Structure 1
Amino acid sequence: MIHDHDRPVTAGGRRRVDLDAATALRLLGSVSLGRIVFTRQALPAVRPVDHVLDGGEIVVRTHAGSDVSAYARQGGGLGAVVAYEADSIDPDTRLGWSVVVTGYARLVTDPVELARYRAMLRPWVDQATDQAIRVRPELVTGILLSADGGPDEV
């Protein structure tokens, strides 16, 4: 469901429309690449990664020596706080959507689950991605950048 809060029209006849969490997660699940945001040496770090939405959780593949794997390990049982962003915005019209999820990241340790995620996620870099990280969404926000005529159907 789209929530239009009567935001003013922006330049070029575009406006921002807030999305509810279910719509935002559905859109995030419709693309395969996003960006994971975590802390590295007390500073924000962003990495592009491939993902799949599985049972309402975001799963990304990574390799054992990656900074994001090390960060997820630090979180212990609860996990480490991360943000995850994915979008589909046309560079010419600047219309589309963006979703940001904040939640807890944990390494996937079950060998059966790990094998399943390896089969589901195709690495986009030429590097062994032998680990997976699961992000449990706690806060989901999304926006639709819509033409002045009204919210596009998403």
Structure 2
Amino acid sequence: MDQVDRIEELGEAECLRLLSTVPIGRVVYTEHALLRVVPVPFRVERDGRLVLVLLPGSPVLRLLDGMVCAFQVDRLDEGSRSGWSVVAHGTAEVVRDPADLAELLRTGPHSWIPERAPVFVRLSTELFTGRRLRPLGDPPPHGQVTGE
């Protein structure tokens, strides 16, 4: 099997499904023209938007609010040299509506630092990209076009 044949481009539905299987991802944004990457808890909402949990007073909040950013998750298996990666792109907005805040405080996602009240950021996803690297020897899915 050609190495390129192991790479599968993922559609939006599969990207959303995979996003919902992990609790932590990485928000990617710019600060002083440099890329910054911060791991944060999150969840996928029914409409495909993402809700990120940040700590109050975090400089990330000021830089994200109203800005375009990316959000990346992955799951990799070193043993089989396989896995997947998904990137969602969109605009981030700090959740300020009291009813939305109350619902998010009740239902999560939850901060890994529970002694501080979380701040929620909603990412309106506009573009998904994803790739899966199949283990060596796995045939491509039926009808799947492979390669880059």
- Which TM-score tier does this pair reach, normalised by the shorter chain? 0.7 to 0.9
| Offset at residue 10 of structure 1 (A) | 2.0
- Secondary structure of 1:109's aligned partner: coil
CA shift at 1:127, angstroms? 5.4
Pick the aligned partner of 1:98 from 80, 85, 95.
85
Q: Quick check: 1:49–1:61 contact (8 Å CA) kept in 2?
A: yes
How much does 1:97 deviate? 1.1
Aligned-partner Cα distance in 2 for 1:123–1:91:
28
Once residues 130 and 16 of structure 2 are traced to their aligned partners in structure 1, the CA distance between those partners, rounded to angstroms, is 8
- Percent identical among aligned pairs is 35
Q: Larger relative CO (CA 8 A, sep 6+): 1 or 2?
A: 2
Q: TM-score, normalised by structure 1?
A: 0.81
**Structure 2 unmatched ranges of 5 or more:** 142-148
Corresponding position of 1:22: 13
**2:113 aligned residue:** 125
Q: CA RMSD in A?
A: 2.0
Structure 1 residue 125 displacement after superposition: 3.4
1:150 correspondence with 2:133: no
Q: Equivalent residue of 1:26, what SS?
A: helix
Q: Does 1:42 align with 2:33?
A: yes
Aligned partner of residue 150 in structure 1, secondary structure? coil
Q: Secondary structure at the match of 2:56?
A: coil
SS at 1:38 equivalent: strand
- Which structure 1 residue ranges, 5 or more long, are not aligned? 1-7, 74-78
**TM-score normalized by the length of structure 2:** 0.84
> Aligned partners of 1:48 and 1:129: how far apart in 2?
18
